[in-house]
Structure formats: structure tokens, C-alpha cells
Amino acid sequence: MKDMTNAEPLLEIKGLEKKFDLDRGFLETLKLRGGKITRETRAVHAVNNVSLDVHRGEALCVVGESGCGKSTVARLVAGLLTPTKGEIHYDGQRIDNLSRHAMRPLRKKIQMIFQNPYASLNPRMTILEALEEPVRHHNPEFSGSDVRDRVAEVMKSVGVDPAWAKRYPHEFSGGQRQRIAIARALTVDPEFIVADEPISALDVSIQAQVLNLMLEAKENRGLTYLFITHDLSVVEHFGTRVVVLYLGSICEVADTRTLFSSPKHPYTRALLSAVPQLKDDRPNHIRLKGEIPTPINLPQGCPFKSRCAFANSRCDEEKPKAIRQPDGSLVACHAVEEDRITPQV
Amino acid sequence: MSLLSVRDLTVKFAMRDQTVTALNGISFDLAKGERLGIVGESGAGKSITGFSLLNLLSRPGYIDNGQILFDGEDVVKMNDQQLRKVRGNRMAMIFQDPMVTLNPVLTIGQQMVETLRAHRKLSVEEARQIAVVKLREVYINSPEERLDQYPHELSGGMRQRIIIAIALLLDPQLIIADEPTTALDVTIQADIMELLLELCQSNQVGLILITHDLGVVSQMTERTLVMYAGRIIESGRTRSIINDPQHPYTQGLINALPQQTLPGEQLRQIPGNMPTLAQVPNGCAFNPRCTFATDTCRSQIPQISHYGEVEVACHEVQRLQSEQAREEEKA
Amino acid sequence: MSEQGLDTQMPHQAEPSRLAKIMDSDMLYSFRRNPVALFSFGVFAAIAVLSFLAPLIAPYNPYDPAQIDLMNSEYPPVWINGALPEFVLGTDDQGRDLLSTILYGTRLSIIIGLCAVALQAFLGISIGLVAGYVGGRTDSLLMRMADIQLSFSTLMVAIIFLAVTQALFGSETFNRYAVFFLIAVIGVAEWPQYARTVRATVLAEKKKEYIDSARVLGFGPMRIMLRHILPNSMSPIFVISTVQVANAIISEASLSFLGLGMPPSQPSLGSLISAGFDYIYSGSWWITVIPGIVLVVLVLVINLLGDWVRDVLNPKLYKG
């Protein structure tokens, strides 16, 4: 992967931050404290100062547990949300502040696949209508037969049976719907796909079908993926690089192989050990104390400190910066930096 | 004698214009304190099996045939009053979503006390004490305070622990857990599973774990049933099934996992989809997706029978075995 | 239903049937199994067809002064002594054949009801869509407007409006355009019902991923609202529409009864009831009672149909 670091990244995220205000309206922010009325705002810090590069042709996986902000990152990149702070650059162009109109040519390039195939297709549109609509919208110059050709090509490549065309989404199973949703994203011929947990709502045997389909599309169409998931076994198979998020902050960024062979951040190690293994040879499960705190008004210091076995006073005060390790991975942890972590059992 | 003995259980759903069979002649036994996994994909009938065991099916579903002998008594033939004595008391159920299983307007304590007093003659104070003990058993800190909290004040993992504590309140002989950790995060799932395992082992409680996750089954259970389209297609010791599956579907399920393929390579997928209940193919239900299917498979339903260490319902299991052995020799 | 039988043999091979067919067959099925719905629909259809065919089937034309003879006034229905056989339901105070007048009046009531609801729906759906989709301040503004509108009772607004217009234009002009005034006032008074319902469904639909997917594909807000959200918000619209038609017919009748609606020369059911009311104590009860029964039956069957529609289209039952 060394050669890639020199190349211009396709997607560049710099210091991305997203807050969701919990208070609706001015009045809710007023609180009575010690006999005085003060103004307090509460906000969910979904994403905190996240910086990432995605290079052409790679599949960057973002993993983390619920509430870690991984879906928010996906939605920010897809332009469904606007960041509170920070910048998103695509192919050298800043995209987070574009108007809908200026964004339009980029919509063809960046597409998204959603988690729930039962909700991501309009129930009142036939498969054909759903597939033709984006083609028509983005290529007004296309004639009827051009549109049909494009749709037929995509349907064929994704394995959507042409006989399905006149049917409605509710007539299909989850796997078939996800196939259709992928086909829909591919009709505009994108180069970058944000996939937000695309297989976690599917059955095991169907997950493999959809993953294969996405791998195929990656090879045949030269796609680049930003793949959001909580499933580490999928990451190991699918990702070229992995980003581990915890409470909206990056813990570790590494090549997939490096991450799985030598995880460094205490959280990454706990996460890896928690995956249920098929065969009996699993290493001891690293137990984490407590649970993920809510991301409302985060305290200072390392976000993981409340569950970390290696936390000390420095972790309480100072938020760790991502530091490059000898093997090329980035790790944000004081304990790793100070070499306080006992080698893995 | 086994704790639970299910014989030829058939469950049907009366739909608008036809009656579909959701479970077709399910038979299995569970010894006292044994842990059994039921694996399958959505639509396989695994959740319906769980519901039937407590006779919890509601219209349009009904038990058409079969026996469910729990400690020698047939659950199918019980009236409502007898069922109430069994449910929650001797057989408890843990559902998938901890967010909806607890009543949001009652405190944890009220719900636990209510459950206890419905089955035992206890004062509120006594019931609270038992509740505290049970909460401690599931490693909940400061249980006395938790009793006065409402479900929404607790995190998902905490709620699932409390649900387990409620399930254990009346010292049941059997816990049926339907996807108990699917809604939870990985690190928390691992915790809950360890807890459930520990509790079952130390209290000699039987466990039926219904899940789609082979990894979970492999760590939690001693025996496994694999279901497909309303039938058991393979059953046996969990270890044997995971390490040496016989049915092409079980093999497919295990081989389809990403861990079984080198990174970046195509996964070994099972083609096609699980049939809907209204459209179960003739013969072996798996035949349209099976690479080994023959004419026999397309016309005759295979009976489950012993093969090696497991029981399999497959016509071609012998041929399959020899072909695989040949391939392995080549490799 | 026989198609499904075929499907068991050949999954996904059968020629796909159109959604309309499936939707219809689901609705039809529940319809056929619901005697109340069947009966209500039968009665409603009978009333509607008869009244819309009034010019063809009514024995007299109540709008034609040449066919009215004041000498024929207040004949009772045929089953009462002293009736004339040519006036089946008797005659009113002006000597009009009551059967013909009721037929014409029902037609008018139904037309006013439907048009008023169409106006309500148009206003309410547009405002509800915009409020729900755009959100924020626009939403607050539009919904506060709806709240204010709702805090006046429909009848009060209508009475004030109609009384003022009547005074302003004089009763001659008012009577000529009474239909339009009624439609306008009933239509405007009840749009918040639609706006609120539509806004609520829009808020629910907006969260679904297919809307996100449409946004990622770069579709504009108009397209998303009309092509994606609106078709998925139709069932609640359909449900309240039936109830609203019944309400509009009642409102029209009430206003006419108060003398603010249709003039006696072009009576709707309400103005007929009102006109006959003066004679109820003089023994000519039928002028009021018979149109009253028609009105009650009409509104009742529409409401019963509405109940059924709500059960069938209940999002919990049908989206499952």
C-alpha cells in the first residue's frame, strides 16, 4: 500500500465534526441553575474531528459499535447531512458546502447503498420505474431506448431478472431488494459508493451473495467503497483498509491485514476478541468494563477512558492524537504511545 | 427422561386462500440442563418453533398436530390456566429486542415483583429481595437502585441483563432465547452470551437458543438443529455440525461465512433464496439451490436419518460424502 | 387467488400481475367478507346513482316553475289517506313533488360535499407536504396557521363568511352563486385536517431510506415530494377523505338549514329540511322527515364505509 500514499486521494475528509442539537428552540435551552437562569445547550457529538483519506480503488471500512458515528460519517460524505465543522474534498473539489444544483454532477459519481432493503425502495414504484428514474433524471438527453439499454445493462450485471421489472418491491425478499437497490445506485454509473451496513439486515447465505456482487462491481466498474459495518469478519474479507471509530473519534486506522494480525488500540483488541468464532480456538475474550457512554456533551480526554484497562490520569485530561506506528497504522492512544500496553496474550 | 420432548410438531397458518405449513413434523428432545441451538435463516421456522413450545402462537397460526411433552405433560393440550403455570414459571422466554420486551411505564422493580407475585405467594418486600438477588446474579451494580428505574433509563445491554434476570426469577427449568443478542453490539453480545452460558451451567437450566449466527451457536450449545423451510434438515452435536456438516445447506451456510474464504476472493455463496412458506418446492425444499440435486430430490421429501455422528435429511448425503472425500484426496 | 396456486408450482415464473390488481384484490377480498361494507356501499351507490340520474328518472323537474302548481302543495305520501297517486312521497309547501326534489337535492348535496372535500384536500395536501418536507420555520408557521384555523369552529367561520357575503352581494346574487360559496367556505374551513394528517405521514416517510436514496440520486424537492412521498401518503388521505365527505355534507345541510346555504328554489337536502320545518307542527311532517332520513342514511353509510377503509388501509395491518 506504500505506493498509494503518494497518489492523490479520491476522497479527503479533514477535521470533520457533526453535532446534533438536542434542544428544539431557544426556550428549551434555558435552565434554572442556582437561582439564575442560564442558557445551556445539549448536543450529541456524533463525529469529532475525523480525518480520513480514501484512495481510488480501495474499500475503506469504517467499523464501530452503535453510537460511534459511523453512519453519520457515511451520511456526511453522501451529502445527506452538512458538517458542523471540517471539510470534505472529492477529487480535489470541496463538496460539503455545495448547493444542490452545484452538487448535481457529483451525484452521478457518489452513490449510496443503505442498510435496510425493506425501506430503501419506494414501495409504490415498480422495479423498472425505480431503475429508470435516476437514468432519466441525470441524462435528460437520453432517448427511451437509451434509457432501456442502460437499465438492461445494469440489471444484467447485478443479476436482476428482467422478469422482475413490472413488479413492486414488496414482492421480493430482502436479498433481492438489496440487489435492486445496488442496481439503482449503479444506473448512474458512479465511481464512489458509500455503503452503510448493506448486508447486516440480510440472512447469512444472502450476505455472501450481496458481498460477492459488491466485489464484482468493484472489479468490473473500478469502484471505490466507503464501507460502514459493525461486522469484523466482513471487514477482514472486504476491506483494504480499516478505520475503527469509538464515540465519534478515530481509534485506529490500518491496513486490514495489519489490523487483524496486530491490533494496537485497546478498543480494537477488545472488539476483535469479542467476535464469536466458529471453531473453538478463540483467544480469551477481553472484557470491557461498562458500556458505551452516550455521546452527549463528551468530557475531555480520551473517549474510551471509561472502559479502558490502561487508562491513567493523562487519558483523563488529554485527548490522544493519532500517531503513526512503525507498521504504517495510525493509533490514537496514550498507552500505545507510551508503550504501557502488555503484549497480547 | 428428557425435560422436553417434541414429537412430530406441525404448525400451520391459515392464510387468505390457502393454509401454509410453517413447521412440518419437527421432533427433538432436550435433556435436563442441556443447551440446544436452533439455527436457520429468516423464514426457516425457528422462531415459530420457539413460540410453539410455549403454545404462544396466535391466529392465524395454530398447532395442527404433534406433542410437546414438557416434563411429561403435553403443552399442546393444556388449557389457559395450566399454560400460565408453565409459562414464565417453568419455561421462560427471552426475546430479541430488549427495547420492547420491558414495559416502558413500569419500573424494573414493579415488573419483577409483579412477575414473582403472579406465580408465588410472596409479600412485596420478599419479592423485592428475590429480585435484588437475581439482579446480582446477572452482575448488575447497585441492584436496589435499579429496581426503581424505568427501562428507558438503562442501556441496551443492561436491559437485556434485566430481561435475563426476569427470566430466571422463578427458577425455570428451561429458557428459550430467541436471538437474544442480535440487537446488541459485539462487545456487549459477548458479555451477555457468557453470562447466559454461566447461568445455565451453574443452575442446571436447559437452554434453547434460537439464532442465525453459527458463531454464537458454536460457543453456546451442546447440540444443534439446523432448520430449512419448516423442517429440521440436520441435527447432532454442535461440534460435529460445525466441523463436519453433512447437509449441503449446512455446508453452504458455513462456507458462505467470510472467514472461510481468503480476503478479497469471491465468497462461496448459496445461490437463490429461501422459499416462502406458500411456495415450498416439491421434494427436498432445498433442491432448487442445491448443486447436488437429483430427480429423487425434486420429487421425494428426504427423511431425517442417522449418518455418521449426525442426523441428516438428504437423499444424496452418501454420494456427497464420497465426492468430497475424493476432492480432498486430490487436494 | 388462483394465481397464487400456480405460483406454488413455479416460483417467480408466472407473469407478474400489476400492483393495482393485487391491491384491489386485497381490498376487494376484505370488502367481500365485510357485510357492513357491502351493505353500506350498496346503499351509497344506490343513492348516488339515483340522484345523479335525477334529470332522467325524476317524475318532475323541481327547478322548472312551469311544472309547479301551488295548488298541489302539502299532499301527503301515498300510504297516507288523502294522497295523490302521482306524488309518491307527497309534495312540499310549494307544490313540488317531494321525490323529485329529494333526488335533485341529494345530487346537489353530494356534489357540494365532493367538491368541498376536493378543495380541502388540495389545500391541505399541498400545505401538509410543504410543512412536513421543508420543516423548520416554514413548518411552524404553516402549522400555527392550521391551529388558528382549527380553533374556530367550521360552522362559525362559515356562518360569518356566508352572512357577510349574503349581505354584501344581496341575496339575489348570493343565491345564484350559493353552490360556489358553499364549496369555498367548507373547503377552506377544513383544510387543516388534511394538512395535519399529511404532515404526520410525510414526517414518517421522510425518515425512510428510500427518501435518502432519492436525495443521494440528486432529485429535487418537488420530485421527491410529488413522486416519492405523496404516493406513499395516500392511504391516510383516503381514510380521512371518506369521513370528510360525510362531514362536508353535514356542514352544507347545517348551513342550508340556517338559511345560509342553498336557496329554496334550488333546494339541497338541508334547505329542504329547513323549508319543511315550518310545517312540521301543521301536520306536514313528511317535508322534513323524509329528506332528513335520506340525509342521515347517506351520512351513515359514508361513515361506515370510512370505517372499513380505515381498517383495510391501517398502515400497521397493510405495511406489515
* Subunit contact C216:A110, Cβ cutoff 8 A: yes
> Most confidently modeled of A83-92, A293-302, C173-182?
A83-92
Give Cα separations from C42 to C46, C113, C240, C244, C296 (angstroms): 6, 19, 21, 20, 16
Question: Digits of tens for pLDDT over chain C (320 positions)?
Answer: 333 332 333 334 344 455 555 555 667 777 778 888 889 999 999 999 998 988 888 888 877 777 777 777 777 787 877 777 777 787 877 778 888 888 998 999 999 999 999 999 999 999 999 999 998 889 999 999 999 888 888 788 888 888 888 888 888 888 888 888 889 988 888 889 899 999 999 999 998 899 999 999 989 899 999 999 999 888 888 888 988 999 999 998 888 888 888 887 888 888 888 888 878 787 778 888 888 999 999 999 999 998 888 887 765 444 33
Cis peptide before A283 (omega within 30 of 0): no
Residue B252 lies in a domain: no
Condensed to tens digits (0 to 9), the pLDDT of residues A214-239 reads: 999 999 999 999 999 988 888 888 88
More confident residue, C178 or A32: C178
Residue A172 lies in a domain: no
* Subunit contact C16:A164, Cβ cutoff 8 A: yes
What is the residue-averaged pLDDT of chain B?
87
Q: Is B311 helix (H, G, I), strand (E, B) or coil?
A: strand
DSSP state of B154: S
The residues, any chain, with a CB within 8 Å of residue C297's CB and separated by 6 or more, are C43, C47
Residue A151 lies in a domain: no
Which chains reach chain A with 3 or more Cβ–Cβ distances below 8 angstroms?
A: B, C
Residue A79 lies in a domain: yes
Domain count, chain C: 1
Which chains reach chain B with 3 or more Cβ–Cβ distances below 8 angstroms?
A: A, C
What pLDDT score does B214 carry? 87
Residue C212 lies in a domain: no
DSSP state of C97: B
**Using CA atoms, how far apart are residues C205 and C129, in angstroms rounded to an integer?**
11
B157 touches chain A (CB under 8 A): yes
* Subunit contact B278:C29, Cβ cutoff 8 A: no
Contact of B235 with B226, CB cutoff 8 Å: yes
Residue A29 lies in a domain: yes
Residue C92 lies in a domain: yes
From chain B, pick out residues whose CB is under 8 angstroms from the CB of A211.
258, 267
**Using CA atoms, how far apart are residues A300 and A295, in angstroms rounded to an integer?**
12
Q: Using CB atoms, which residue from C218, C223, C232 is nearest to A124?
A: C232
What pLDDT score does C20 carry? 55
Condensed to tens digits (0 to 9), the pLDDT of residues C89-146 reads: 878 777 788 888 889 989 999 999 999 999 999 999 999 999 999 988 899 999 999 9
The fraction of chain C above a pLDDT of 90, given in percent, is 26
CATH code at position A37 = 3.40.50.300
Residue A199 lies in a domain: yes
**Using CA atoms, how far apart are residues A88 and A15, in angstroms rounded to an integer?**
9
Residue C24 lies in a domain: no
* Subunit contact B278:C1, Cβ cutoff 8 A: no
What pLDDT score does B42 carry? 83
Q: Which residue type sits at B267? A: L
Contact of C100 with C59, CB cutoff 8 Å: yes
**Using CA atoms, how far apart are residues B230 and B49, in angstroms rounded to an integer?**
9
* Subunit contact C11:B18, Cβ cutoff 8 A: no
Which residues sit opposite A242 in a β-bridge?
A: A61, A254
In a 13 Å sphere around the CA of C190, the CA atoms on its Cβ side amount to 27
Nearest CA to A330 out of A82, A51, A7 is that of A51
**Using CA atoms, how far apart are residues A86 and A13, in angstroms rounded to an integer?**
8
What's the CA angle centered on C14, arms C13 and C15, to 5 degrees? 115
* Subunit contact A204:B256, Cβ cutoff 8 A: yes
Q: Is B57 helix (H, G, I), strand (E, B) or coil?
A: coil
The radius of gyration of chain A from alpha carbons, rounded to an integer in Å, stands at 22
**Using CA atoms, how far apart are residues A266 and A274, in angstroms rounded to an integer?**
12
DSSP string, B274-288: PPPGGGPPSSSTTGG
Residue B16 lies in a domain: no
Residue A195 lies in a domain: yes
User: Residue B126's Cα: distance from chain center in Å?
Assistant: 33
Choice among B70-74, B193-197, C4-8, C49-53 with the minimum mean pLDDT = C4-8
Condensed to tens digits (0 to 9), the pLDDT of residues C14-35 reads: 444 555 555 556 677 777 788 8
Report the DSSP pairing between strands A192-196 and A224-229: parallel
**Count of B-C CB contacts under 8 Å:** 17
ipTM, two decimals: 0.83
Residues of the domain holding B123 = 101-169
Report the DSSP pairing between strands A330-331 and A249-255: antiparallel
In a 13 Å sphere around the CA of A7, the CA atoms on its Cβ side amount to 14
Average pLDDT over residues A151-164: 87
Residues of the domain holding A278 = 2-109+190-337
Q: Residue A238's CB: how many other CB atoms inside 10 A?
A: 25
* Long-range Cβ contact pairs of C211-216 (< 8 A, separation 24 or more): C212/A75, C212/A78, C212/A80, C212/A112, C212/A114, C212/A120, C213/A112, C213/A114, C213/A120, C213/A121, C213/A181, C213/A184, C213/A185, C214/A122, C215/A79, C215/A80, C216/A78, C216/A79, C216/A80, C216/A107, C216/A110, C216/A111, C216/A112, C216/A185
What pLDDT score does C115 carry? 94
Smallest CA–CA distance from B240 into chain A, residue: A279
A172 touches chain C (CB under 8 A): no
Provide the pLDDT confidence category of residue A282 given band limits of 50, 70 and 90: low
More confident residue, B58 or B178: B178
Smallest CA–CA distance from C231 into chain A, residue: A124
Q: Residue C129: which H helix or E strand, with range? A: helix C98-134
**Using CA atoms, how far apart are residues C220 and C226, in angstroms rounded to an integer?**
10
**Using CA atoms, how far apart are residues C6 and B318, in angstroms rounded to an integer?**
34
Smallest CA–CA distance from A208 into chain B, residue: B269
B14 touches chain C (CB under 8 A): no
Provide the pLDDT confidence category of residue A3 given band limits of 50, 70 and 90: very low
Condensed to tens digits (0 to 9), the pLDDT of residues A88-105 reads: 999 988 998 888 888 888
Average pLDDT over residues A291-295: 74
A289 touches chain C (CB under 8 A): no
**Using CA atoms, how far apart are residues A325 and A331, in angstroms rounded to an integer?**
7
Residue A228 lies in a domain: yes
With a cut of 90, say whether residue B36 has pLDDT above it.
yes
**Using CA atoms, how far apart are residues A73 and A78, in angstroms rounded to an integer?**
9
Residue B41 lies in a domain: no
The nearest CA of chain C is from the CA of A168 a distance in Å of 7
What's the CA angle centered on B45, arms B44 and B51, to 5 degrees? 155
The residue count for chain C: 320
Q: Which residue type sits at A102? A: A
Provide the pLDDT confidence category of residue A293 given band limits of 50, 70 and 90: confident
Q: Is A110 helix (H, G, I), strand (E, B) or coil?
A: strand
The radius of gyration of chain B from alpha carbons, rounded to an integer in Å, stands at 21
Chain B, 271 to 330: residues with Cβ < 8 Å from chain C are: 275-276, 278-281
What pLDDT score does B259 carry? 80
Q: Which residue type sits at B160? A: Q
Contact of B21 with B147, CB cutoff 8 Å: no
What pLDDT score does C118 carry? 95
More confident residue, B155 or B126: B126
What pLDDT score does C19 carry? 53
User: Residue A255's Cα: distance from chain center in Å?
Assistant: 16
Domain count, chain A: 1
What phi and psi, each to the nearest 5 degrees, are found at residue A295?
-80, 30
DSSP state of A307: G
Contact of B221 with B37, CB cutoff 8 Å: yes
Residues of the domain holding C70 = 33-190+239-319
From chain A, pick out residues whose CB is under 8 angstroms from the CB of C215.
79-80
Cell of B320: 456427497
**Using CA atoms, how far apart are residues A298 and A17, in angstroms rounded to an integer?**
13
**Using CA atoms, how far apart are residues A114 and A201, in angstroms rounded to an integer?**
10
Which chains reach chain C with 3 or more Cβ–Cβ distances below 8 angstroms?
A: A, B
Average pLDDT over residues B35-52: 89
Interface test mutation site (partner B, options C8, C32, C34, max chain B beta carbons within 10 A): C8
What is the residue-averaged pLDDT of chain A?
85
Residue B119 lies in a domain: yes
Q: Is B217 helix (H, G, I), strand (E, B) or coil?
A: helix
Cell of A211: 458481498
Listing from the earlier edge strand, what are the strands of the sheet with B231-237?
A: B91-94, B174-178, B206-211, B35-39, B223-228, B231-237, B310-312, B305-307
Residue C154 lies in a domain: yes
Report the DSSP pairing between strands A110-113 and A330-331: unpaired
Nearest CA to C309 out of C231, C225, C229, C244 is that of C244
From chain C, pick out residues whose CB is under 8 angstroms from the CB of A186.
none
